[in-house]
């Protein structure tokens, strides 16, 4: 039979032993957490994959190179904000969105800048300009007919990523940005004469006289309406004049 003093001493020993176990358990837990954190943040540790979507002109290899990813992918070491900022430095890319897809995939959605026109530049070259007026490409010739050529205008020296300062070109690009892809694909050439009058030549060969370049934006709705009408009614005309209050169509007899 234990005395009261002995029982109290035994209880104190049990409490100390219990506290010691809790302390040791907590320290082991902290060591495991810290060790795991250090492990998953090692460059050689492989975790997850990167899924790049939306690229056409920008190759996946370019994206990987821009992010400076070497060796196995470790999502614990990849900062989404850094990814976004790094990729948006590429003049070909307009916007980047990143997200995580369960269980271990980082999805990078790239929105590329879309070419709007070709226009002459210095030294006999041609610049491909996007809908924001930025130069996407400079070459000695027009490589494709995916976008219309603007004749009668030159933007001088043009370098990749430059913002076009030519007022006429800016207004033409703004006009085109308000058209849908179907209508854009039907435009062959945009001509600007010495009086800054704009003529749009469709793939069908029909020229559309739009008027002064300064008033292009005001003609957007009329231009769309007329183009849809001549397509739906299969109108074969010599030319269409939008410079009058009421559009005039010269129909072939």
pLDDT one-digit tens code per residue, 4-53 = 666 667 677 777 777 777 777 777 777 667 665 565 555 555 667 777 88
Q: Does the structure show a pLDDT above 60 at 242?
A: yes
Can you give the pLDDT at residue 175? 92
Can you give the pLDDT at residue 70? 67
Can you give the pLDDT at residue 94? 84
What residue spans of the chain are helical by DSSP H? 4-40, 60-66, 80-87, 167-177, 181-184, 220-232
Can you give the pLDDT at residue 38? 62
**Cα(50)–Cα(71) distance, rounded to whole angstroms?**
13
Domain boundaries, the chain: 49-112, 115-251
**Model confidence band, residue 104 (pLDDT cutoffs 50, 70, 90):** confident
Nearest C-alpha neighbor of 168 from the set 142, 146, 197: 197
Can you give the pLDDT at residue 176? 92
Nearest C-alpha neighbor of 219 from the set 200, 238, 234, 201: 200
Q: Are residues 173 and 191 in contact, defined by beta-carbon separation less than 8 angstroms?
A: no
pLDDT tens per residue, range 165-222: 888 889 999 999 999 888 898 899 999 988 889 999 988 888 889 888 888 888 889 8
- b vs e for 48-63, b when ≥16 Cβ sit within 10 Å of the residue's Cβ? bebebeebeebeeebb
Q: Does the structure show a pLDDT above 60 at 81?
A: yes
Can you give the pLDDT at residue 157? 86
Mean pLDDT of the chain: 80
Can you give the pLDDT at residue 35? 62
Q: Are residues 177 and 137 in contact, defined by beta-carbon separation less than 8 angstroms?
A: no
Q: Does the structure show a pLDDT above 60 at 76?
A: yes
Q: SS3 of 138, please?
A: strand
According to CATH, what is the number of the domain 115-251? 3.40.50.10960
Q: Does the structure show a pLDDT above 70 at 245?
A: yes
Architecture of the domain delimited by 49-112: Roll (3.10)
């Amino acid at each position: 039979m234990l005395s009261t003093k002995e029982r109290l001493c035994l209880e104190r020993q049990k409490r100390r032993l219990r506290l010691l176990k809790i302390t040791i358990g907590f320290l082991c837990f902290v060591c495991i957490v810290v060790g795991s954190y250090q492990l998953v943040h090692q460059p050689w540790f492989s975790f997850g994959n990167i899924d790049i979507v939306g690229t056409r002109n920008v190759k996946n290899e370019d994206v990987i190179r821009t992010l400076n990813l070497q060796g196995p992918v470790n999502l614990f070491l990849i900062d989404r904000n850094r990814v976004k900022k790094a990729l948006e430095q590429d003049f070909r890319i307009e916007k980047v969105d990143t997200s995580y897809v369960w269980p271990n995939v980082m999805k990078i959605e790239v929105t590329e800048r879309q070419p709007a026109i070709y226009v002459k530049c210095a030294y006999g070259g041609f610049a491909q300009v996007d809908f924001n007026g930025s130069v996407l490409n400079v070459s000695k010739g027009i490589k494709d007919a995916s976008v219309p050529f603007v004749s009668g205008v030159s933007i001088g020296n043009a370098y990749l990523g430059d913002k076009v300062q030519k007022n006429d070109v800016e207004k033409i690009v703004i006009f085109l940005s308000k058209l849908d892809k179907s209508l854009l694909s039907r435009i062959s050439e945009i001509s600007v004469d010495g009086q800054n009058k704009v003529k749009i030549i469709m793939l069908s060969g029909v020229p559309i006289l739009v008027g002064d370049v300064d008033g292009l934006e005001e003609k957007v709705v009329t231009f769309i309406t007329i183009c849809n009408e001549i397509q739906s009614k299969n109108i074969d005309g010599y030319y269409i004049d939008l410079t009058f209050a009421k559009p005039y169509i010269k129909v072939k007899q």
